[in-house]
Amino acid sequence: MESIAGTVVLLGISVVGAALARRLGFVAPLVLLVAGLGLSYVPGFPEAHLEPELVLIGILPPLLYVAALQTSVPAFRLALRPILLLAVGLVVLTALVVGFLVHLLLPQVPLAACVALGAIVAPPDAVSATAIARRVGLPRRVVTILEGESLLNDATALVMVRVAIGAMTGVAVGFTDIAGEVALKAGGGLLIGLAFAVGVAWLHKKITDALLEDAVALLTPFVVVIVAEKLHTSSVVAVVVAGLYLGHRIPYLLSATSRLQMDAVWKLVNFLLEGVVFLLVGLQLRAVVSTIETDLATTARVTAVVFGALLAVRFLWMYPATYLARLIPRIRNREPRPPVTVPTVIAWAGMRGVVTLAAAQTLPQNGDYPRELFVFVAFAIIVLTLLVQGTTLPWLSRRLGVREDYSSQDALAEAGVQHAAGQAALEALNEHAPGAPDSVVDRLRGLVESRGNSAWERLGSQERETPSAAYGRLRREMIRAERRVFKIARNEGRIPEEVLVRAQRELDLEESQLHRSDH
């Protein structure tokens, strides 16, 4: 699938699959995974091979970077303790437990190889966790914990995979070696991510051209990852740190035009990459199954044990991690004790994804262990967790009541802040108004009042149609009429194409603002 035509086919299928998912009310990753599974057995459909380097350097960085950009740094900081418990402690425990269990089933396989398998299947996926958690409507703290876990756990897992592979190849590994490796990888990634983030922030302050700003933003995650890999540090930590730093400062760094363009670009990139990556995971099935040499009974037994261990370890970890820490008064006062349903839902939200498959592909070809079995188990875990946990998580959250609707709360908060912002805007207007035409000043005062009224209307007016909704409906009809006039004038040769493009852009920006205000 390396040709341009193959790439276009994959993109087309992912777009159609995403559209079908939205129409059916499913999460796109699940639909595309199933589509890939089915297409892998269609006669004549080209075989897809997912290179680990492509995933770890070409696909994962922008996905993690966008997720980090959209993560609230204050919320992330407040949830840092549970995030680190899941992203570091749970990953290490899972890798060790799975490793020992697989070693008991396959005593002829070196323990280091079994631990490598455990590390490969340990980290939940960033894409699926975020997509499903947001769609389900989980409480914001739960979403923050799941997002934070999925942003950082890949780094822990990949370090453990490398350490385990080193032990498989005869490199002596002790506790000191592991601690040093983790400190070097994570610490180096943190420093590189911060350094690049500060440098990119400085560039954004100096650049005034919106296209150049967007180009710098697009290149940032790839440059950060390449440099981190070259310096043998954690590229995952580096790109996440850079994304968190820059995302928190975007309102002060990018111009309004750049923010609008960049938001649209990242949404498109994220949409296409998410679709293609889960489609590719599904398309691996035929190639993975064809390489298995282990007998069916052993394959099924190992897969079942690994899947069961992942579920059991996550559940057994969640409850003590949630409640034992709250025995400490300082933590208990800062973080109220959640109902048992909350850690239950977090425990169930452990879907694996493409990083697991990419990490499995990094296992050495030569060794005293069944590589093809381990790759298949990694693939099977992705499919099982997505199809079993991913499809039932919405039902479980509804059944346990772990859902929150923040619309009224957000509207109230927005209305309060909008009032303060309106007062600040009026003060700035009064300060700079002398000398300006009265009609302009009155128009600007009306704009401030209109925005304030719109914010309060979102609290739930009982009217059939609020004034803001009526304004939006009527203004959209007016814009359509204006567009028709400009198009007719262009077609009749009364204005050049450049004039139409400029007018169209102004009308498009206004209409997009109307659409955002409706939501």
Q: Which of 19-23, 174-178, 224-228 has the lowest mean pLDDT?
A: 174-178
Q: Is the predicted pLDDT of residue 294 greater than 50, yes or no?
A: yes
Q: Is the predicted pLDDT of residue 95 greater than 90, yes or no?
A: yes
pTM above 0.85, yes or no: no
Q: Are 513 and 507 in contact (CB under 8 A)?
A: no
Beta strands in 79-125 (DSSP E): none
Average pLDDT over residues 104-131: 86
Structural tokens at position 354: 């493409």
> Regarding predicted confidence, which is higher, 137 or 266?
266
- Tracing tokens 């943190």 back to the chain, one arrives at 190
Which pLDDT score, from 0 to 100, does residue 505 have?
83
Per residue in 185-225, pLDDT tens?
788 889 999 999 999 999 988 888 878 888 888 899 999 99
Q: Is the predicted pLDDT of residue 519 greater than 60, yes or no?
A: no
Which pLDDT score, from 0 to 100, does residue 460 have?
58
Nearest to 168 by CA among 208, 117, 202, 210: 117
Q: Are 1 and 49 in contact (CB under 8 A)?
A: yes
Average pLDDT over residues 458-476: 70
Which pLDDT score, from 0 to 100, does residue 235 have?
86
Average pLDDT of the chain? 83
471-to-33, 448, 457, 478, 488 alpha-carbon distances in Å: 43, 15, 13, 10, 26
Q: Is the predicted pLDDT of residue 300 greater than 90, yes or no?
A: yes
Which pLDDT score, from 0 to 100, does residue 161 have?
87
Q: Is the predicted pLDDT of residue 94 greater than 90, yes or no?
A: yes
**Gap between the Cα atoms of 478 and 481, Å rounded:** 5
Which pLDDT score, from 0 to 100, does residue 458 have?
61
Maximal C-alpha separation, the chain: 87
**Gap between the Cα atoms of 65 and 69, Å rounded:** 6
Which pLDDT score, from 0 to 100, does residue 316 have?
95
Q: Which residues contact 98 (CB under 8 A, 6 or more apart)?
A: 114, 115, 117, 118, 121, 122, 306, 309, 310, 313
> Regarding predicted confidence, which is higher, 239 or 1?
239
**Gap between the Cα atoms of 91 and 264, Å rounded:** 34
**Gap between the Cα atoms of 239 and 219, Å rounded:** 12
**Gap between the Cα atoms of 496 and 255, Å rounded:** 29
Q: Is the predicted pLDDT of residue 1 greater than 50, yes or no?
A: no
Per residue in 39-53, pLDDT tens?
888 887 777 777 777
Where residue 85 falls among pLDDT bands split at 50, 70, 90?
A: very high
Q: Is the predicted pLDDT of residue 303 greater than 60, yes or no?
A: yes
**Gap between the Cα atoms of 88 and 93, Å rounded:** 9
Per residue in 371-419, pLDDT tens?
889 999 998 999 899 889 888 888 888 888 887 766 666 666 666 777 7
Q: Is the predicted pLDDT of residue 442 greater than 60, yes or no?
A: yes
Per residue in 348-357, pLDDT tens?
988 888 788 8
Which pLDDT score, from 0 to 100, does residue 307 have?
96
Average pLDDT over residues 433-447: 81
If you count them, how many residues does the chain have? Answer: 519
Where residue 267 falls among pLDDT bands split at 50, 70, 90?
A: confident
Average pLDDT over residues 80-105: 93
> Regarding predicted confidence, which is higher, 153 or 177?
153
192-to-99, 177, 231 alpha-carbon distances in Å: 32, 22, 9
Which pLDDT score, from 0 to 100, does residue 313 have?
96
Where residue 90 falls among pLDDT bands split at 50, 70, 90?
A: very high
Q: Is the predicted pLDDT of residue 262 greater than 90, yes or no?
A: no
Average pLDDT over residues 506-512: 81
> Running DSSP on this structure, what letter comes out for residue 365?
S
What's the burial of 94, exposed, middle or buried (CB within 10 Å: 0-12/13-18/19+)? Answer: buried
> Regarding predicted confidence, which is higher, 385 or 59?
385
Q: Is the predicted pLDDT of residue 180 greater than 70, yes or no?
A: no
> Regarding predicted confidence, which is higher, 133 or 83?
83
Average pLDDT over residues 116-126: 89
Where residue 82 falls among pLDDT bands split at 50, 70, 90?
A: very high
Average pLDDT over residues 237-263: 84
Per residue in 310-332, pLDDT tens?
999 999 999 999 998 888 888 88
Q: Which of 126-130, 294-298, 358-362, 470-474 has the lowest mean pLDDT?
A: 126-130
Which pLDDT score, from 0 to 100, does residue 197 have?
93
